């Protein structure tokens, strides 16, 4: 089976009702990154950071995957699919995708502030001060904050280098190192981009830009390019 590697961003979850970051009204219109998504923010105002992610977890609990998530899961019947997502929601997994790499962490997991190997599934949406790991230290959101290492990046680069087909869906390609993955696609391999707006990338001859939202764009991608004979 051909290897289809997908880089997804907040845009694929937009039609499920989860706001993106940089569209009008997006998360960064309402919060400053330096107040809620950096290690310094955590040290300066732990309650504000905990509340920011509690609100996002509470919202994410009530949303469902959309047709784009399901289309990617279904493509596993035709391709060896790996999803590299910048999203921290679990909609790819809920839709049935079996190989999902979270570059920026996972909203429904918490992590020890003392021992980063201690990661816990969260049973409820709320993480509070006083919620401690088994070694007695405060739990934090299992999220990669700005300025922190992206532990899964090396794995993501290796997988991207092996891609026969690369799909970029719903990301502005504004944040590195994630956005740099496009440069690890082997020369000449096709790159498809699904987004209502052109991300921050200059289109090269091996790139096909499908200027549509995720749900209809996936439909066009599959019918015209991935499975034209189906």
* Residue 125 marked ligand-binding: no
Query: Cβ–Cβ contacts within 10 Å for residue 132, how many?
Result: 13
Q: Is 69 in the site for ligand APR (CB under 6 A)?
A: no
Separation CA 227–CA 222 (nearest Å): 5
Separation CA 224–CA 228 (nearest Å): 5
Query: Distance from CA of residue 90 to its chain's centroid?
Result: 9
Query: Is 104 known to be catalytic?
Result: yes
The binder of ligand APR chosen from 4, 5, 7, 10 (CB under 6 A)? 10
Which are the contacts of 186, defined by CB distance < 8 A and separation ≥ 6? 161, 163
Binding mask 93-132 for ligand APR (x = CB under 6 A): -----------x----------------------------
The binder of ligand APR chosen from 4, 9, 52, 181 (CB under 6 A)? 9
* Residue 86 marked ligand-binding: yes
Is residue 176 within 8 Å of residue 201, measured between CB atoms? no
* Residue placing its CB nearer to ligand APR in the complex, 50 or 221: 221
Which stretches of the chain bind ligand APR, using CB under 6 A?
9-11, 14-15, 20-23, 26, 86, 104, 170-172, 174-175, 195-197, 199, 213-214
């Amino acid at each position: 089976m051909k290897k289809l590697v997908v880089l997804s961003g907040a845009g694929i979850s937009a039609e499920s009702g989860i706001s993106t970051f940089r569209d009008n009204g997006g998360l960064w219109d309402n919060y400053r990154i330096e107040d809620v998504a950096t290690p310094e923010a955590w040290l300066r105002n732990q309650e504000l950071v905990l509340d920011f992610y509690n609100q996002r977890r509470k919202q994410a609990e009530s949303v469902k995957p959309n047709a784009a998530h399901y289309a990617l899961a279904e493509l596993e019947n035709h391709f060896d699919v790996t999803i590299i997502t910048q999203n921290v929601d679990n909609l790819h997994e809920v839709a049935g995708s079996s190989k999902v790499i979270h570059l920026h962490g996972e909203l429904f997991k918490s992590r020890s502030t003392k021992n980063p190997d201690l990661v816990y599934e969260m049973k409820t949406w709320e993480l509070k001060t006083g919620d401690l790991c088994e070694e007695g230290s405060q739990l934090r959101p299992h999220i990669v904050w700005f300025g922190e290492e992206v532990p899964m990046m090396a794995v993501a680069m290796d997988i991207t280098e092996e891609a026969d087909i690369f799909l970029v869906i719903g990301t502005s390609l504004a944040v590195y190192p994630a956005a740099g993955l496009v440069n690890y696609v082997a020369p000449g391999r096709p790159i498809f981009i699904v987004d209502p707006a052109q991300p921050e990338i200059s289109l090269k001859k091996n790139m096909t830009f499908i200027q549509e939202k995720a749900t209809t764009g996936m439909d066009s991608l599959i019918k015209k390019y991935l499975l034209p004979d189906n």
